[in-house]
């Protein structure tokens, strides 16, 4: 069975992590969960792992621990402004960001779902970072539609986006990516 790492970051869509993991598992993937420190504000990771059986990997490994193999694919949902820019720049200052950088460098099929508000959307670093990650083979899908044309979340409307989001958009994108 192929293995998919589902990564969550600090944005409202993280509240749908259980739904996302169950959809990816339903598509035939074994799932492990990676979380940035900022995701703790949005998702109860213990509840997600209890509901889905997904393994949680959120700490750096010690020198004596066994290095786990890379997954067959990676999903970063939601991907914040911070995460997209850090990953594109190769900044691995947390376990999650270091892991994202490794997966991108290995050219694993990667699906990224940006959840970025309109106040940050036009920052020049963002367009450059998205272009760099696309060049490295990452597939981006819009948080509103599941399509490839991206747009920001209007500030204050995150809850509406979270409610309308369909985890099956990720499953379709994983199939297309890899």
When pLDDT is averaged across residues 27-56 and rounded to a whole number, the result is 90
The pLDDT value given to residue 176? 86
When pLDDT is averaged across residues 49-61 and rounded to a whole number, the result is 77
- 51 within a domain of the structure (yes/no): yes
| Close Cβ partners of 54 (under 8 Å, ≥ 6 residues apart) | 6, 21, 25, 31, 32, 33, 48
- 87 within a domain of the structure (yes/no): yes
Given pLDDT bands bounded at 50, 70 and 90, which one contains residue 144?
very high
Q: What is the residue range of 131's domain?
A: 3-59+69-177
Q: Which CATH number characterizes residue 150's domain?
A: 3.40.50.1950
- 80 within a domain of the structure (yes/no): yes
Number of domains in the chain: 1
Of the chain, the percentage scoring pLDDT greater than 90 comes to 78
pLDDT tens column, 78-127: 999 999 999 999 999 998 999 999 999 999 999 999 999 999 999 999 99
- 85 within a domain of the structure (yes/no): yes
- 64 within a domain of the structure (yes/no): no
Contact status, residue 142 vs residue 151, Cβ threshold 8 Å? yes
When pLDDT is averaged across residues 61-88 and rounded to a whole number, the result is 84
| Residue burial 118-143, b: 16+ Cβ < 10 Å; e: rest | eebbeeeebeebbebbeeeebbbbeb
């Amino acid at each position: 069975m192929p293995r998919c790492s589902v990564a969550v970051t600090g944005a409202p869509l993280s509240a749908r992590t259980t739904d996302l993991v169950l959809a990816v598992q339903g598509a035939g993937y074994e799932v492990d969960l990676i979380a940035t420190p900022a995701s703790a504000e949005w998702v109860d990771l213990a509840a997600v792992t209890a509901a889905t059986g997904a393994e949680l990997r959120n700490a750096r490994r010690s020198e004596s621990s066994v290095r786990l193999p890379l997954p067959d694919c990676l999903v970063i949902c939601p991907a914040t402004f911070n995460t997209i820019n850090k990953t594109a720049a190769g900044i691995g200052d947390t376990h999650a960001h270091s892991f994202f950088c490794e997966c991108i460098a290995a050219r694993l099929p990667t699906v990224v779902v940006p959840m970025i508000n309109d106040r940050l959307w036009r920052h020049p670093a963002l367009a450059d970072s998205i272009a760099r990650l696309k060049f490295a083979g990452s597939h981006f899908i819009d948080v509103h539609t599941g399509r490839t044309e991206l747009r920001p979340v209007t500030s204050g409307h995150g809850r509406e986006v979270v409610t309308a989001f369909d985890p099956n958009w990720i499953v379709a994108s994983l199939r297309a990516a890899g």
